Amino acid sequence: MTPKSKWNEYLHSMFKCAFEDFHGTDYCRAMKEKIEHDEELCRNDFTNREFVNVEVWIDAICEIHSVESEFMYERGYHDCVAMLKCMEVL
């Protein structure tokens, strides 16, 4: 395993842990309940075809936000390391 692949695995593991920690919060649970409620309202208001189209659109938005979040997490980690090196802490 190369140093770069080890680094990428390490960052992915840290992001995964942070993601899992967030999903254990009361805030996340409350948001999931709200989403379920809102989904039920949409199911009542839209035809099945309209609902599927909206669902596909929302899934695409969620995917891009997930990738964006992981990128920002990694960038923040790199920036923090660079700052600590600049300060000669590392």
- Judge if pTM exceeds 0.75: no
Residue 65 CA: distances (Å) to CA of 56, 58, 60, 68, 90: 14, 11, 9, 5, 32
The number of CA neighbours under 13 Å toward the Cβ of 73 is 17
pLDDT in tens, 12-61: 898 899 999 999 999 999 999 999 999 999 999 999 999 999 999 999 99
Phi/psi region, residue 2 (left: phi>0; alpha: psi -120 to 50; beta: rest), is: beta
Handedness of CA 71, 17, 78, 9 (dihedral sign): negative
